[in-house]
Structure formats: structure tokens, C-alpha cells
Amino acid sequence: MKFTRLLSLFVSLSAGVWLLNAQGPGGFGAGGGKGKGKAGPPPAIDFSGWWTGNMQEDGAERGAGPDLVDYGGVPINEAARLWALSYDTSRLTSRFHQCDGYVAPYSVRAIGNTRVWEERDPRLQTLIAIHWYSQTFEGHRVFWMDGRPHPPVYAPHTFMGFSTGTFVGNALRVETTHLKQGWLRRNGLPESDQTTLTEFFTRRGEHITYTSVIKDPVFLSEPWIKTTDFYRQPTDPGAWLFPCEDSEQVTGRAPDQVPNYLFGTHPYAEEYAKKNNLTLLGALGGAETLYAEFEAKVTTATPAEARARMLPAPGPSQTSRAVDPDPHDGEIHVLPVRDGVYMLVGDGANIVVQVGDEGAFVVDTGAGQLTDKVLAAIQRLSPKPIQFIANTNFHPAYTGGNEKLKKAGSDPSVVGTFLSLSTPGAGSTASIIAHENVVGRMNGSMGTPATSPESWPIDTYLADRLRRFHNGDSVELFYVPNASTDGDSLVHFRRADVIVAGDVFNTTQYPFIDVANGGSVQGEIDALNAILARTVFQHSGEGGTYIVPGRGYLSDEHEVVEYRDMMAIIRDRVKAMIAGGASLQQVKTAKITADYDTRFGANSGAWTTEKFVEAVYTSLKTPASKKQ
């Protein structure tokens, strides 16, 4: 496509969206509005039927996929470009990526047919939801039309996201949040889990004009506006099912090996531009490639200018643009997970509570600032006393409430046993369980400041695992050595299939690799793989086993595998620099996390990007096992 035609296309699309948006107040933000000067809501529009997307300028997405490093016309930022230039398509052969679904903003424009139907209240005939089902990965979107609110920030994300709809003028307007990380284009251009999507569906007889506005604070510098068209199918196209099962594809790859290209080494970076006689600068994309002014630059840009964009720009590191999932309102928020397991948010690290016929089983106790409210929340879930407390690690954000919660509970299972003989008072309080090194770190014997003896675990294990059958579930603590610390446990509620990850995994920042207390980057990667060794997805690479992160939103294996990939890639970059003789300062200056900083980076606070990079460097230079 000629560049001027591309420009005029985008200008016309932008104008179209502006016109649509002008029909209702509120801009592209959440909400929506009624038609100006009209009484009552606009009439509902029926989209029911079978629909197929017209093959237009989006042919590459609907067919065999776009070329590598074809990013032109997409308002990506530096982080997205670097992320994509690091992406080796071989990554998709990993068992944990083979069934990844398409995210909603991509799914609508991708291959396959769509079926739409209404869900109405059988008695009142009010519209509850509009279902938009795509053949591609059986993508089933639900546009809630009944005015329900979006879930809290700490609720799970899905490939389809959570959508609410309103009729605005002659269009259905849909707002979507809670999306997973996915593709802007499936040549490696990423779309983050912080994306919000605004869509307009306008029916024109047997056609739907579809306009989407993608806002991604992590990977886009301005909204990306796209349109496409659907035409109605008179008969059922069939073939609606597409079950995906992962399998062995490329065999013999180590579990911690994630195919990627180091910055500036993408072997096919210029292939697309050369093949199509385009300027490399244009192929590398960015908001400027959307505007007419860029045409002048096309003729003057040098190859060196383009190649400079394949490396992190000098200057200070970017910081996270993600929404903080902690409400910070002084309250404890309870999120049901599954089968008597709940996630409590609001007091430092996430707390997990399992309830049933026996006393509550609590995993981690938060920072200790809101423990009375934590206790009240637990007592609302179960009238029985807390029986067990498991600590995934010794950090204060995870153990701050130990003493109070312990004293509020009791453990009848140890009364009269060896534990009550060796530990005075055992049984009259809840029993705290953890890896042995957690005790060592809390009682001061391993070089860290001692905490109150009442907060120390009394039931410990040294290696492998510790087991309890409690409240009808098999609960296992697995030791993951030298990850965040030298005493990390994963806690798996097997029947509920919920894994509590502690400081090993979070959705808010780079992992806290506490090198001084036995943490290491390789142990962190191994621990993330230990989680993945126990997960089973439900459908198209999502759902199934839930993972409660130390901080952040309730996750599944998709979030963990993206986090694992990131850690392996960052490790590879630092390793390569160390092999080349780089000093710590040189590694820091190279900005080796530039493609992840807009999602996880921090330049202030307790855990900055600089500290994280230093931890990676230090633990690779001096492996953890040598320090003990």
C-alpha cells in the first residue's frame, strides 16, 4: 500500500470515529451517554445472527499473519518496539503458549466467523447481555447490558476481558477492561494487560461497521483506532468449535530457555522493509507514522536513525503505567477464588484464606497494619478459629499479622501431640507453618533482625514439601530454593486448584530478588517453572489453576508464563553482558529492561528497576549456592 494511501485511510478512520463519538458525551472513557436532547435511552439494536469479517486492509491478520517487523501505522512506544524486536516466534512452541487465545481487540479483526445472540430476562424480556462468539479460539465475549459495574482491579483478567455495553445514538458502545496480555499484531507487537477497549458497533442492514479504540498505557503512546466491516451470513457457517490441546512441538529445550533476540540482534529486522522497498524507519512504527508530517521524514531518514530505534534510548528509565491493584482505602477486600478459598486484598501482600468444616487455613498474614480488619474478614468467612497459618516467606509484608492472627486461633490437632510437648502453648493458638529458613530469618539466627517470638513458625520443613489434608482439600507447601529468598514456599490447595505464590510472582513490579537473604534470578525462574509444572488451563490457555500473586490481581498460568519469559529474557541479556566483561554500571546504563519498564519499572520506592537489575547481575556473578 502506498504511504499516502495509508495516511489518508487513517485520517478517514479517525474522522469516522470522531463522528461516532460525537453522538454521545463522555469521550472514549468508561461510561457512555444518551442521545443529546432525547428523552430516555436510545432504542436497542439487534445484532443477532451469523457474521463474517470483510477481508480488507486487515487481510494479513485474517490470513496467514503479518510479516516480522511490520509495525508501520501502529502508535507503539519504545517499549513495544523493543519487546517485539526481542520476540522470536519460536517462543510460541512452548507448551504454555501454544493455546494462547487472541485478546478481544485482536480477535474481532482476526480470522473466522462470528455468531451473535441476545440474552434476555425470561420474565421481563429486558436485555441482560449480548453474546459475541468468535470461531477463533472459541472466543466468547459477553457485553453486559444490565448496568452492572466492572470488577475490581484485583479481579482476574481474561483474553476476552470484561465488557459492558450501552446503546449510543445508532451504535452499540462497548467498554472492555480486565484483558490479558496479547497481540496488537501477531508478529510480536504486544498489547498489555492494562489495555482498555472502546468499541462501536453500527448496524447498516446486512452489514456491521465496527470501530475500536485501543488504549494501552504500557505499549501505545496514543490510542490506536481501527475499523472493519462484517457482513451477514444467511445460513449457519458451522464449525464453531476449536478445542486446543498443547503438545510437544520442539523437543529437548530446557524449561528455562525462552527463545529471544538480544537488543540489536534481530536477524530479520530489515527483511520486511527491504522486500517491500520501504524505509526501515516507517516499518518500525510509532505514532508519527500515522501522520502526514512523517512523509517528509521518510525521504530524509538515514538507516542509522532507524537502527538507533532498535536499541533503548539513553536517558532515565521509564516507570510502570499499570493501575495499582491495591485499593489503599484502609479496608480489606475479599475476592472469592474457588471452593472455599478467598483472596484478601488491602494490607500489604495478598492474604489467602481457606474455610470449611475445620478451622481456617490462612496463607500469609499481610503487613500487620490492618490485622484487626483482616481478622474480622476471616471471621465473616468462617465462625471457626484460625487453625493453620502458612508463610510463603519471611518478608514483613507477608508475616506482619502473624502474631495477632496466631493468637486469635487455635489448633486442636496438636493438643496432646509431640508438638505440644516441645512447644509450650501449642494448640492454644493457630500453628504457623513455613520453611525452616523462615524461622531462621525471623529469629535472628541467619543475620536478619529478630521479630517477636510469637510470630515465628513452629512447624517447619527443610526440603521438598510439607502436607496437610484440611477442610477436605490436600494442601501442600513446596520448597522453591533461592528464588526471592532462601525460604520460599508455594502453597497449593489441590482440590480447589489454587496456588499461592508469595513473593515469587506478582503483577505489580519486578520480582523482589532478595540476594542478601538467598534470592537469585535463576532460582526465581526455576520457582516460576515450578508453578507452571502444576498448572492446567481450562480453555485456550487461560482459567483452570488459579495463581494468587504476592501482590496484584488474581492470575492463571498465562500471567505466570509471561512473567517467567520476562525473567529468562532479562537473565539472558545480563548473562551476555557479563560474558562480554560488562560491569554492573555498564549493565545498568544499557537499560536492559527497557521493554518491560512501562509495565513493571520504578525509579522510586523500595524496589526500583536499578535495584532489580543489580540483584540479577549480582546473583549471576555469584550464584546463591556459593554464598551459603
| Residues within the interface to another protein (CB under 8 A) | 52, 54-55, 60, 62-68, 88-90, 92-93, 98-100, 110-113, 135-137, 186-188, 233, 237, 239, 242-252, 259, 267-268
| Least distance CB 240 / another protein (angstroms) | 10
| Least distance CB 230 / another protein (angstroms) | 11
| Nearer residue to another protein within complex by CB, 14 or 54 | 54
| Nearer residue to another protein within complex by CB, 258 or 426 | 258
What is 295-318 written as a DSSP string? HHHHHH--HHHHHHTTSPPSSSPP
Phi and psi at 329, nearest 5°, equal -115, 15
β-sheet bridge partners, residue 207? 204, 231
| Least distance CB 17 / another protein (angstroms) | 25
Reported as type and span, the H/E element at residue 521 is helix 521-532
| Nearer residue to another protein within complex by CB, 99 or 615 | 99
| Nearer residue to another protein within complex by CB, 110 or 172 | 110
**375/396 Cα distance (integer angstroms):** 18
| Nearer residue to another protein within complex by CB, 270 or 364 | 270
- The grid coordinates of residue 627 equal 554464598
| Least distance CB 247 / another protein (angstroms) | 4
Reported as type and span, the H/E element at residue 565 is helix 557-579
| Least distance CB 506 / another protein (angstroms) | 29
Contact yes or no for 541/96 (Cβ under 8 A) = yes
| Least distance CB 198 / another protein (angstroms) | 26
Reported as type and span, the H/E element at residue 461 is strand 459-461
| Nearer residue to another protein within complex by CB, 110 or 363 | 110
| Least distance CB 136 / another protein (angstroms) | 7
| Nearer residue to another protein within complex by CB, 42 or 285 | 285
* Amino acid identity for residue 557 in this structure: E
The Cα diameter of the chain in Å comes to: 85
Q: What is the DSSP letter of 539?
A: B
| Least distance CB 297 / another protein (angstroms) | 26
Q: Where are the alpha helices (DSSP H) in 412-520?
A: 418-422, 436-442
| Least distance CB 143 / another protein (angstroms) | 23
**Of the candidates 354, 347, 462, 447, which has an alpha carbon nearest to the alpha carbon of residue 402?**
347
Burial 189-207 (b: 16+ CB within 10 A, else e): bbbbbbbbbbbbbbbeeee
Contact yes or no for 90/250 (Cβ under 8 A) = yes
Cα distances (Å, whole numbers) of residue 417 to 423, 424, 425, 436, 467 = 10, 11, 12, 20, 17
| Nearer residue to another protein within complex by CB, 237 or 427 | 237
**318/348 Cα distance (integer angstroms):** 24
| Nearer residue to another protein within complex by CB, 233 or 608 | 233
**120/44 Cα distance (integer angstroms):** 12
